[in-house]
Amino acid sequence: MSGIDEETKKKLVAAALVAMDKAYIPYSHFPVGAALLTEDGNIITGGNVENASYGGTICAERSAVVRAIAEGHRKFKGIVVATNSLKPASPCGLCRQFMFEFGDFPVIMISGKSDEVTTTSVKDLLPGGFGPQSLADFAAEGSAKNSS
């Protein structure tokens, strides 16, 4: 369904679970791990990192994307998001927007506690989203240079 072969999916799931166990979660105690598959087959992980300010917290999905960008990867074939709840949790609005920036790819949500898996995609999580194309369209209209 996601177009990712079973062996790779297993690797992504294992990597997401390892990242989930490394999450820094002193406040919510809700660990999340993410594993991104890059176009060239690399797996880049991230966990949620909470902050005493609460608002400074970064989710696992964004941690993984930031890490991937820092390592020179900008094209993704999919992401596995693992939580330790019975039901897989779906990415927050900020993470949906953050992933939308880098195109449409499968989002596979898994539970660290059950076999439940939900597969969707970035576009389905953020229909009608605002992205790079929105700004490119605006620039093509020629409007950008006429406003202050």
Ligand X SMILES: O=c1ccn([C@H]2C[C@H](O)[C@@H](CO)O2)c(=O)[nH]1
Binding-site residues sit at: 48-54, 59, 92, 95
* Secondary structure of residue 28 in the 3-state scheme: coil
Candidate residues 69, 92, 136, 139; the one interacting with ligand X per rule CB under 6 A: 92
> To the nearest 5 percent, what fractions of the chain are helix, strand and coil?
35, 25, 40
Residues in CB range of 2: below 8 A, 6 or more apart: 9, 78, 106, 108, 119
Site for ligand X in 97-116 (CB under 6 A): none
Which of the choices Zn ion, ligand X, none does residue 109 contact, using the CB cut-off of 5 to 8 A by kind?
none
Q: At what angle are helices 6-21 and 60-70 packed, to 10 degrees?
A: 110
* Known binding residues for Zn(2+): 59, 92, 95
Residue 88 sits in the site that holds ligand X (CB under 6 A): no
Residues in the chain: 148
Residue 92 sits in the site that holds Zn ion (CB under 5 A): yes
Euclidean distance between CA atoms 112 and 54, whole angstroms: 24
> Segment contacting ligand X (CB under 6 A): 11-19, 36-44, 72-80, 89-97?
89-97
> Segment contacting Zn ion (CB under 5 A): 20-28, 35-43, 59-67, 107-115?
59-67
List residues binding ligand X (CB under 6 A).
Answer: 25, 28, 30, 32, 48, 50, 57, 59-61, 89, 91-92, 95
Annotated active-site positions, please?
61
